[in-house]
Amino acid sequence: MTGPWWREAVTYEVYVRSFADSDGDGLGDLPGLRSRLPYLAGLGVDAVWVTPFYPSPDHDAGYDVTEHRAVDPRLGTLADVDGLIGDAHRLGLRVLVDLVLNHVSSEHQWFVSARAAGPGSAERARFHVRPGLGPGRAEPPTNWPSIFGGSAWAPFGDGDWYLHLFDTEQPDLRHEHPDVAADALATIRFWLDRGVDGVRFDAAGSLSKDPGYPDLPEGWRPGDPAPYSDRNEVHEIYRRWARELASYPGDRLGVAETWGGPEVLAPYLRPDELGQAFAMDPLYWPLRAQLWRDGVDALLAATGRHGRLPAWVHGSHDVRRAADRWGPHGARAVLLMMLALPGAVYLYAGDELGLPEVTLADEAIRDPVFRRSGGAERGRDGARVPLPWTGESVPYGFGPTGSTPWLPQPTDWGEVSVARQRDDPGSALALTRAALALRGEWWRDRPAELTWRDAPAECLAFRRGHRGPTCLVNLGDVPVDWRPYGRRLLLASMPKVEEKLPARSAAWLA
């Protein structure tokens, strides 16, 4: 292995509430995850990212935190975290925690006292608080939209308004405030001291806001530059936190949850900042060969400027299931492509089973996006349905028999369970396991430069460096002969491939 352990690591995102429920309360928990670590070690991933397990009233499924240095009693105890880290390390797995430092829960002590203390108080200075506009200060201070829909400002009821880039129950912190800065640092240290190998910084680009609070220009659209996204000041915060990470032994990783193109994420990767920044753009790329080729080149170039590699994101709890975005076959092809590319890869729990996006009934949806958009957007819960492990009926081994998962599982999920796929060589699970086993030998730690080989229309063929295996991806509708690219078929994303690689599939050739 060259460089730090995470440079080309494959990290599996455990959405803890939906992974495994040990006590039957319907909510996945830390003992549940702990009991399934051997499954993840057997799958062949290098690291596990555990989504927030801190005390939370769950207005945004744990991303609304009341105490950053404690464990939600529904999900476990600090002793469970220690046990989890210990077990993971014994199995050769690294552990990343998810720190939500941009905002707190509206039930966090700081916000409760800010609400009570009134306009002009020291308590309100920890948050972004502005007087409302117009008569009675009844209008929001700016036209900023919440990422979850509606205005990003909510009234205290006394003329002051507070900023919440996400839900109203997630007030944004002012990182310029010394209490906020000190508390964030204490949180980072707390989890590093417990032995975690890395930290995901939630909403990484949002920590700094333009203190002039300017309105967004006419015609602004989501994704355009904004006075609360990826500002220069945010990088000063990461420089400070990176020094903290570097002061611990063992190459601790900081990974930024970035949403943006190559030029947005590259600055987070400067030598004195973080090791990784999520490459989320590919999540939305349609399966067109030239588009992927250009996009991959741009990400490699931008990250390479700082001696880093991309962190390819194949799926997450914030987007539709991979099998839905790219189609079931496309998701398998993209998996083989990402695992062959230079860089790290983030896989989302359940995508190794090829789970479909679930259409939930209105009453079942918990994601605040659904309510805040007035039902116009269904939100993200369709990708968060608890995993099917075994058996033919709910809860499919997610929890004890008779328990009811917090989001309803489809009635036919026995067919896609881990137990059902385990011994089926054509399954998504078997493919993921085989790919992870072969990746170490064929792709990992090869040259970071990509060589594109000539390929038929709507196909991609590349090597790392000028020699070694080729990854051939057929995004088109017609089968293509793989034999010009290698003598031996190491792995294909579809079962039973002979001389031709079927439409929407990928192969590794040597």
Selected from 4, 23, 328, 410, the binder of Mg ion by CB under 5 A is: 23
Q: How far is the CB of 152 from ligand NOJ (least distance, A)?
A: 13
Q: Which amino acid is at 185?
A: L
- Please answer whether residues 479 and 456 qualify as being in contact, where contact means their C-beta atoms are separated by less than 8 angstroms: no
318 contacts ligand NOJ (rule: CB under 6 A)? yes
Coil, helix or strand for 43? helix
Nearest residue (CB) to ligand NOJ, 349 versus 509: 349
Residue 21: name its binding partner from Mg ion, ligand NOJ, none (Cβ under 5 to 8 Å by kind): Mg ion
Q: Which stretch binds Mg ion (CB under 5 A): 8-16, 23-31, 37-45, 331-339?
A: 23-31
202 contacts ligand NOJ (rule: CB under 6 A)? yes
166 contacts ligand NOJ (rule: CB under 6 A)? yes
Q: Which residue's C-beta sits nearest to ligand NOJ?
A: 63
Residues 406/408/411/412 CA torsion (nearest 10 deg) = -80
Strand partners, 279: 312
- Write the interaction track for ligand NOJ spanning residues 345-384; mark x where CB under 6 A is met and - where it is not: ----------------------------------------
| CA 329 – CA 313 distance, rounded (Å) | 17
- Please answer whether residues 384 and 317 qualify as being in contact, where contact means their C-beta atoms are separated by less than 8 angstroms: yes
| CA 369 – CA 494 distance, rounded (Å) | 36
Cis peptide upstream of residue 395 (ω within 30 degrees of 0): yes
Judged on CB neighbours under 10 Å (0-12, 13-18, 19+), 477 is exposed
**What CA–CA distances, in Å, run from 178 to 29, 122, 127, 169, 183?**
34, 12, 12, 23, 8
Task: Mention every residue, 6+ apart, whose C-beta is less than 8 A from residue 423.
Answer: none
21 contacts Mg ion (rule: CB under 5 A)? yes
Question: How is residue 420 written in tokens?
Answer: 């059902």
Q: Single out the residue of 151, 130, 121 nearest to residue 112, CA to CA.
A: 121
Selected from 203, 340, 360, 492, the binder of ligand NOJ by CB under 6 A is: 203
Interaction with ligand NOJ in 16-75: which residues (CB under 6 A)?
A: 60, 63
φ and ψ at residue 129, rounded to 5 degrees: -120, 130
Residue 60: name its binding partner from Mg ion, ligand NOJ, none (Cβ under 5 to 8 Å by kind): ligand NOJ
Task: Mention every residue, 6+ apart, whose C-beta is less than 8 A from residue 72.
Answer: 53, 54, 55, 56, 62
Strand partners, 103: 172
Nearest residue (CB) to ligand NOJ, 8 versus 381: 381
Residue 203: name its binding partner from Mg ion, ligand NOJ, none (Cβ under 5 to 8 Å by kind): ligand NOJ
- The DSSP element (H or E) to which 401 belongs, if any, is none
- Write the interaction track for Mg ion spanning residues 25-64; mark x where CB under 5 A is met and - where it is not: x-x-x-----------------------------------
Residue 23: name its binding partner from Mg ion, ligand NOJ, none (Cβ under 5 to 8 Å by kind): Mg ion
Q: Which residue's C-beta sits nearest to Mg ion?
A: 29
Give the binding-site size for ligand NOJ (rule: CB under 6 A).
Answer: 9
Q: How far is the CB of 147 from ligand NOJ (least distance, A)?
A: 7
Q: Single out the residue of 261, 263, 272 nearest to residue 237, CA to CA.
A: 272
Residue 172: name its binding partner from ligand NOJ, Mg ion, none (Cβ under 5 to 8 Å by kind): none
- Please answer whether residues 479 and 502 qualify as being in contact, where contact means their C-beta atoms are separated by less than 8 angstroms: yes
- Write the interaction track for Mg ion spanning residues 222-261; mark x where CB under 5 A is met and - where it is not: ----------------------------------------
Q: How far is the CB of 314 from ligand NOJ (least distance, A)?
A: 15
- Please answer whether residues 151 and 140 qualify as being in contact, where contact means their C-beta atoms are separated by less than 8 angstroms: yes
Q: How far is the CB of 140 from ligand NOJ (least distance, A)?
A: 20
Nearest residue (CB) to ligand NOJ, 207 versus 340: 207
Give the binding-site size for Mg ion (rule: CB under 5 A).
Answer: 5
100 contacts ligand NOJ (rule: CB under 6 A)? yes
20 contacts Mg ion (rule: CB under 5 A)? no
Judged on CB neighbours under 10 Å (0-12, 13-18, 19+), 87 is middle
Q: How far is the CB of 257 from ligand NOJ (least distance, A)?
A: 6
Residue 357: name its binding partner from Mg ion, ligand NOJ, none (Cβ under 5 to 8 Å by kind): none
Q: Give the number of residues written for the chain.
A: 510
Residue 166: name its binding partner from Mg ion, ligand NOJ, none (Cβ under 5 to 8 Å by kind): ligand NOJ
φ and ψ at residue 67, rounded to 5 degrees: -145, 120
Catalog residues that contact Mg ion under the rule CB under 5 A: 21, 23, 25, 27, 29
Catalog residues that contact ligand NOJ under the rule CB under 6 A: 60, 63, 100, 166, 202-203, 257, 317-318
